[in-house]
Amino acid sequence: MLTYTIRRLALFVPMAAGMVIVTFSLLLLVPGDPAAVLLGQEASPEDIARLRMALGLDDPWFARLGRYFAALLQGDMGRSIFQNQPVAGVIGERLGATVELALAALMVAIVLGFVLGIAAAMWQASWVDTACMLLAQLGVSMPVYWLGILLMLAFAVQLGWLPSIGRGEPLLAAAGMALAGNPGPLLKSLSHLVLPALALGVNSAAIISRLVRTSMIEVLGEDFVRTAYAKGLRRPRVIVRHALRNALLPVISVIGLRFGALLGGAVLTESIFGWPGLGQLTIAAISQRDIPLIQGIVLTYAMMFAVVNLLVDLSYALIDPRVRLG
Amino acid sequence: MLKRALRNPSLVVGGVLTLTIVLAAVFAPLLATHSVDQMNMRARFAMPSSAHWLGTDNFGRDLWTRIIFGARISLSIALISVSAAAAIGSVVGLVAGYFGGWVDLLLMRITDVFLGFPALILALAIVAVLGPGVLNVSIALIVVFWTEYARVVRSATLVLREQAYVSAARALGASHGRIIFREILPNTVGPIIVLTTLGLGTAILSESALSFLGFGVPPPQPTWGWTLAYGTRFIRGEPWLSIVAGMAIMLTVLAFNLLGDGLRDILDPRQLSRAGRGSRNSTTHGS
Amino acid sequence: MRRQHLLAATCISLSVLAAPAGLMAQTAPTTVRVGLDVDAGTLDPRLARDTSAYRVTDLIYDGLVRLAPDLKPMPNLAKSWENPDPLTWIFTLRDGIVFHDGSPMTADDVVFTYQTILKPEMNAPLRALFTPIAKIEAVDAKTVKFTLSAPYSPLLSYLEMGIVPKKAVEGGADIGLKPIGTGPMKLSRWDRGSRIVLTASPQYWAGAPKTQELQLVVIGDNTARAQAFEAKDLDVIQSPLSPQDIKRLQGNAAFGNAVTTGLGITYLNFNTGDPAVSDPRMRRALAQLVDQKSIVDDLYRGVDQVAGSILLPSSWAYSATIRQPAFNPAEAGKALDALGWKDTNGDGIRDKDGKKLTVTISTHSEDPNRVQTLEFMQSVFQQAGVEAQLRISDWPSFSTGYVQKSQHQVALLGWLNIVDPDRLMYSQFSTNGPLNWGKYSNPELDALLDTGRKSLDLDARKTAYQKAAAIIANDLPYYVVSYQGYQVFYAKSLGTLEVNPRGYLRNVLGMAAR
């Protein structure tokens, strides 16, 4: 298992390097000058030229790329042009918020997805099935940001049940305070989390519910489940012990596959709900042409992608003994 | 086959909806009740009436006309991007899976690179480079979409190349090209068709997300994405615009998804789910 | 009737809220929450470049002068100043001012602030405004002398920029992140991308503000920010707002509202170096096809005002008699006919020598109102037989990659913070001026702008700028579409709020004192 993990992580290096090169090429081609954006409309052309020189933007591309990789090997992601701080720090400030949102959305997706999927499978071909699957279909068919604005309109503006925007204390910190006897921040953090997590998670919930339904129906028809029934096991137990366990596999693989979609969706969700995460930072960095920051964010995405996929594969082995890692 | 198809409600509903939308797009000039870009600032945000079946937009333009002409743009982007992505991705997957070894390794590492980016952000960056427009948005979506096909087709190919009939063809001295395109490709068509149908919906959603962020097909083209992006900004005062555009997108995506699900049921469902599962594993092991 | 009900309901809910609040008044700080459209990039006033940074640093720092609502410079950290000659400005500083870290503010800090902003490697966005300063010296602890390389009367308006502490900055303090100023508020917490929390500075020289805490919450999307305000998650929101939200908010009795003309314009930049629009007659004809009133009333819903000339109505230089061409499609049609552009092939588009009359109009996608304006303009142009191609891209591509490289024909964009006419005209219209992206050149205008910059006599400046504005209104290197309006909405529970044309928030502090 350990050697497997190491080998898998080694694959991350060419992927990350490739992503950096792709990003670098895109940034080389994209119109717009970070120096001119930084200095604003009122800056003189001389000042802009001087800043370009200072930032090394006029150097040949291979020199810039080489410099970037050389620094990277020493663990230095560079400085954000706009925030004038180390890139790692800028990203670190935002990463927690996005991970929190993505995990919460995943929770929403799994809970909703399993409830709908199991209900549909158990009452297969009944109106419950139709209703659940129609809901799921609508869930995948809605533009994420539209859903977000509609949710905000309904639950924050019209009903006033939940805050419309922003984030409370980081969830972990708030949970710590709750353990120390102060539940206020935790409740506040959770109330801020509900709408964005829902908006982001519904899409994946719909996909998961369809998968759960399919694999459960498949499994419910298989020999060992029939055997389980024959042995006199009761229905809920069969579902949980056998059918659900088998349904988990494809669902987990989908979670891995959809992680990129979730992060992409987070870009929209974050900007609608004022969630201070990586998605908003990405949009800002692109719209400022903050080259080192964009590169750093891309590397972060690469790392998250690698870690999530590793976790998915490892959990495969845990859930299904038939899968051997090698 | 046809009987089975007609008994599949997803397929029937999805098919009929898709057909309706495609026909509306194709015959948009005949179905239009107004000119696409005729503005009337005194009739902005009108509700549906006999003159304007779906009401009017933020410039007083007829929404029905804009929506059916918008269908042309949305469907074009979806068709261009998904079919090109399917073609590119399938070839990559076939080649990687068939030859294996370092070819497979190289191609799959390249696939990983593109898969590592959040799709929306990669697409946005490409539109920023190329500039907005129908073709450029399509290109951006091709770059984002092709990886999925590459992986699914590759894992299907890995299974297929060990089949007896492939070995037989090889023993008979068939060229690689012949084996890949004549023997293996036809057997991967099922998953490709299903992925393509589902991908059409994703493409339409992606175009609208790009428009919301200002990187879609810019006005005055009557795109659904911009209409919805405008609509969400007017949502409190005049929600109608957002509802019409949102519903147009939702119904179309729904149509493609139902169609895709239906096709999946018809075209051996187990093959695709196994291929999908396999793709996950094979990248896992891929080395 | 209905409004009364609403009012009654509000009163009840307020009194319910007020009960526990009243009990806690001794301990709980009075907090005001304000929406921001973007996070501040830095809190170092020398490097401020976005509106949020301006608005926040204005609370944390003080400048030598502050600008009155009519933009006249008033004493602030400097209690007085004099000009022994046009090249010399001597400022006398107020006594007893201390920075938030307890250190006293002296002439050295002023000298340090302006010396550093002038350093090219500092990369200060506003450096160009201060380049006429040749030398800055501390005459004594309370006196600062500015020596100029050429007379430069607008300087005083720009000296509102915050003074930073020399000792702390030289000691390595990063005031971009942890600001230290002399202003009424100091930073207590900054969650990047999310919110900035300021608390009152008890030692503020003009008296500590009553508002104990000011939370500035970042919500990028205008509609979402307005919704957060309506959901009572914010107490104050201000421009930029979506015009479509404004009417609705105005109808809500729980909210106070104030409007004023801001310090910005939205304008069309004609590239006079491009053959398509190099002829002033062509520019005038196109300008007559810009339906300012519909743009301002329908698209901006009355927030912005129809512009008459390049001079702002709030400026001392304004004259209502100087007028650019107004919307007049019939006149425009005649002018285009006279220029030889006629629709000879009946396709609805004018042509000449077998070429269609086409212009490319561009703007950036971040501002949906500008995109709408372009879409609308295109439609009107089309009816007049002018084919308009739209080019809409994101800000860096549009601004730094296109307009600033003089690749445009007609571009829709804006200028902000026009505290002095010089700031909108000198670099923009002088022959080979650094911001003259439209390549306009007119020796007569050059001379007038030079007079305006150098003269210390307000009447002489006024005359020069009015003559300059008349030339611009006739020649149209710029066509000013609108004067940008500034809007603020606030919870009425906070009292009544004065407006500040730049959205500066000191009035919010005073407001909460009730």
Query: Which residues of chain C are within 8 Å of residue B126 when distances are taken between CB atoms?
Result: none
- pLDDT at position B127 is 93
Domains in chain B: boundaries: 8-32+54-274
Query: Which residues of chain B are within 8 Å of residue C248 when distances are taken between CB atoms?
Result: 236-237
Classify the phi-psi angles of A71: left when phi > 0, otherwise alpha if psi is within -120 to 50, otherwise beta.
alpha
Mean pLDDT value across residues B163-190:
86
Q: What Å distances lie between residue C310 and A44, C414, C420, CA to CA? A: 22, 12, 12
Tell me the residues of chain C between 176 and 235 that have a Cβ less than 8 Å away from chain A. Answer: 176-177, 191-195, 217-221, 223-225, 227-228, 230-233
Q: How far apart are CA C313 and CA C326, in angstroms?
A: 17
Q: Do A32 and C126 touch (CB under 8 A)?
A: no
Q: Do A260 and B119 touch (CB under 8 A)?
A: yes
The pLDDT of residue A323 is above 60: no
Among A96-100, B169-173, C385-389, the range scoring the smallest mean pLDDT is B169-173
Q: Do B277 and A149 touch (CB under 8 A)?
A: no
Q: How confident is the model at residue A235 (pLDDT cuts 50, 70, 90)?
A: low
- pLDDT at position A121 is 84
Contact, C482 vs C308, CB < 8 A?
no
- pLDDT at position A248 is 75
Mean pLDDT value across residues B69-77:
94
- pLDDT at position C154 is 93
Residues of chain C with pLDDT under 50: 1-29, 511-514
Domains in chain A: ranges and CATH: 94-325 (1.10.3720.10)
- Subunits close to B (at least 3 CB pairs below 8 A): A, C
Q: How confident is the model at residue A310 (pLDDT cuts 50, 70, 90)?
A: confident
Pairing assessment for the beta strands C88-93 and C143-148 based on DSSP bridges: antiparallel
Q: Do C233 and A163 touch (CB under 8 A)?
A: yes
Which 8-state DSSP code applies to residue C82?
E
Q: What Å distances lie between residue A257 and B265, B276, C18, CA to CA? A: 22, 10, 51
**Nearest 10 degrees: CA dihedral of A229, A235, A236, A237?**
-20
The pLDDT of residue B287 is above 50: no
Mean pLDDT value across residues A254-265:
71
- pLDDT at position C361 is 97
Tell me the residues of chain C between 116 and 145 that have a Cβ less than 8 Å away from chain A. Answer: 120-121, 123, 125-129, 131
Nearest CA to CA, how far is A193 from chain B (Å)? Answer: 22
Of C128, C217, C231, the CB nearest to A156: C231
Nearest CA to CA, how far is C221 from chain B (Å)? Answer: 9
Which 8-state DSSP code applies to residue B27?
T
The pLDDT of residue A249 is above 80: no
Of C128, C220, C400, the CB nearest to A47: C128
- pLDDT at position C474 is 96
A68 CB-contact burial (10 Å; exposed 0-12 / middle 13-18 / buried 19+): buried
Q: What Å distances lie between residue B165 and B161, B162, B168, B179, C335, CA to CA? A: 9, 9, 5, 10, 78
| Percent of chain C scoring above 70 in pLDDT | 93
Q: At what angle do helices C243-250 and C222-230 cross, to 10 degrees?
A: 10
H/E segment holding residue B124: helix B119-130
Q: Do C231 and A82 touch (CB under 8 A)?
A: no
The pLDDT of residue B190 is above 90: no
- pLDDT at position C511 is 44
Structure confidence by residue, pLDDT tens digits, A9-68: 788 888 889 999 999 999 999 998 999 888 888 888 888 998 998 888 999 999 999 999
Of B113, B209, B242, the CB nearest to A15: B113
Tell me if residue C68 falls in helix, strand or coil: coil
pTM score of the predicted model: 0.86
- pLDDT at position A224 is 67
**Superfamily of domain B8-32+54-274, CATH level 4:** MetI-like (1.10.3720.10)
How would DSSP label each residue in C118-131?
A: H-GGG--TTHHHHT
